[in-house]
Amino acid sequence: MAADNPRNNSRRKPTKRAAARPATRADSHYSKLTRTSTMGSTERRSGTGSGRPETRRSGTRPANGAKRHPKLTRATGASRGGRPITGYKSLSSDAQRRVYGNRAPRRPRTGNTAALLVGLTVIAAFIGGGILFWTHRSVSLTVNGSPEKIRIGTTLEGLYEELAISTKAGNYIAVDGEVIEEEKGYAFSASVDGKALSRRQTNEYRIHGGEHIEFSDGGDRMEKYDTEYRDVQPKLVFEGSWGSVSFVKQWGKAGRLEMRTGKESGRTAEGKWIEEMQDCIVTTKNVEPADGKKLVALTFDDGPASTYTEEYLRILDEHDAKATFFNLSENEEELPELARKVAESGNQICSHTYRHQQLSTLGKEDLLLEINSAHDSILNVAGVDTTIIRPPYGDFNQNCWLLSGGTISASVIWNQDSLDWSLPGSDAIVQNALAGVQSGSVILMHDGGGDRSQDLDALPQIIERLQADGYQLVTLSELMASDPQIPAEVAAGNASMPEGAVWPTEIGEASQTEA
């Protein structure tokens, strides 16, 4: 039987180890499964059927001397010559199957990678060279009338130096404009395509090609300075010399100004406005209705009066005319029903102060008492809010404006005086009221303060003759609103100083809103 076994025909003699334990198919490397333990050893399960796994240290040969399968590996952490084995072959077969399946990972093809890197390097060099060429190319332009070529992106200073352009430098100056040293300012000034550049624009400009550049003499250069700030109060400024209406054209506003002290010269001067100051401007003029309108304002002082006010209202209503009544508030408080009738009839009520005192003779406290008491009384009695005043005797000078503290928006006198106060007779009153009348005229008559029977006779004739000449008799607010130079809020009759505005405490010569 032994002679018939082909295995017994082998001339190789079994080793002692094989003789001690004959090799069986169960012991071949096909029947063994290896796995890596957590301690780095390899457990090998025997196929003898003993039921007990045989554990061998990693790196030892199988007990039966069989060769290890080429795809089976040493355990991770095993070493050869003291060096750890890593990579694919350092994994156990179970780990290999989990990571790669039944196929080993492909190794990168180093030849293709090198070719790709070379190609990318060439492309990068080509692009970089193109960019370098483009950003350093020369462009054409005109400088002071001559064609030139210069590298794109060159500064104006670089262009100036490269072309050796000659200009006269400005001076080195102190903060107040005094010259510290001549021709030590900026070397040149420049314009591009006809537009002058600021100093900042000159420093930042870069040549792009095709432009026309002109170099001229340089400007002054100011010394370095320290900066402080101070608040500046507005002044009261007057415009115009004569007219029937004086009004607030612009309300005052405080400003904040930069003050400069030169570090070299020690001089001090005003700098720029941090917050622009605005003077208060009062303008005096005659009303000039726009668009060829023929408008006239009839006005009556010193009312209301029990004998005359209602008669005036009746005549005005019969002739479809309107007027303005400058009432004394002490009279209004005695005859409140008449004040209300004036307002309800569509005619206008404004202030003639409280007691008819000459305002230019009063101190600030008494002047404000006269103005404010009258405004309050008109509002309480007639329900009319007004800031327009007719000063007694037409006397309201610049100092009165200053002391008024922004309590009034307009002071209205007249440019047609009927002289009715002198009782010249009704015909004279008519003649005086109409002599030289024109569109925008303000006619002065009286309601109270004496015998006004002549005015009652004269009034219908004045109205009829004006209307026959094409004039419309309107309230003062309507007349002022026809003039575009008078602010609409002032014309409305109740303008007050807006929030944030400041009333001046000094009279100024001219507006100081310049930066």
In the numeric block, which tokens belong to residue 257?
């100004």
Short-list 16, 507, 446, CA closest to 239: 507
Q: What is the DSSP string of 275-336?
A: E--B-EEEEEE----STT--EEEEEEES---TTTHHHHHHHHHHTT--EEEEE-HHHHHH-H
Residue 423 Rama label (left phi>0; alpha psi -120 to 50; beta): left
Active site residue 446: yes
Tokens 């004006």 correspond to what residue? Answer: 466
Active site residue 94: no
Angle between helix axes 309-318 and 453-468 (nearest 10 degrees) is 20
Residues forming a β-bridge with 206: 155
Sheet with 221-222, strands from edge to edge, namely 179-181, 172-173, 221-222
Contact assessment for residue 278 and residue 513, using Cβ atoms and an 8 Å cutoff? yes
**Per residue in 145-157, is it b (16+ CB within 10 Å) or e — as a string?**
eeebebeeebebe
Among 352, 356, 375, 446, the one annotated catalytic? 446
User: In a 3-state reduction of DSSP, which class is residue 208?
Assistant: coil
The residues, ordered by sequence, that sit 6+ positions from 492 with a Cβ below 8 Å of its Cβ are 477, 481
Interatomic CA distance for residues 214 and 429, integer angstroms: 73
Do you know the residue count of the chain?
515
Give Cα separations from 515 to 250, 272, 488, 504 (angstroms).
Answer: 18, 6, 28, 19
**Per residue in 240-256, is it b (16+ CB within 10 Å) or e — as a string?**
eeebbbbbbbbbbbbbe
Contact assessment for residue 390 and residue 410, using Cβ atoms and an 8 Å cutoff? no
Among 27, 279, 301, 420, the one annotated catalytic? 301
Residues forming a β-bridge with 172: 181, 221
Contact assessment for residue 29 and residue 68, using Cβ atoms and an 8 Å cutoff? yes
Tokens 């569109």 correspond to what residue? Answer: 439
User: In a 3-state reduction of DSSP, which class is residue 77?
Assistant: coil
Q: Could you give the residue numbers annotated as active site?
A: 301, 446
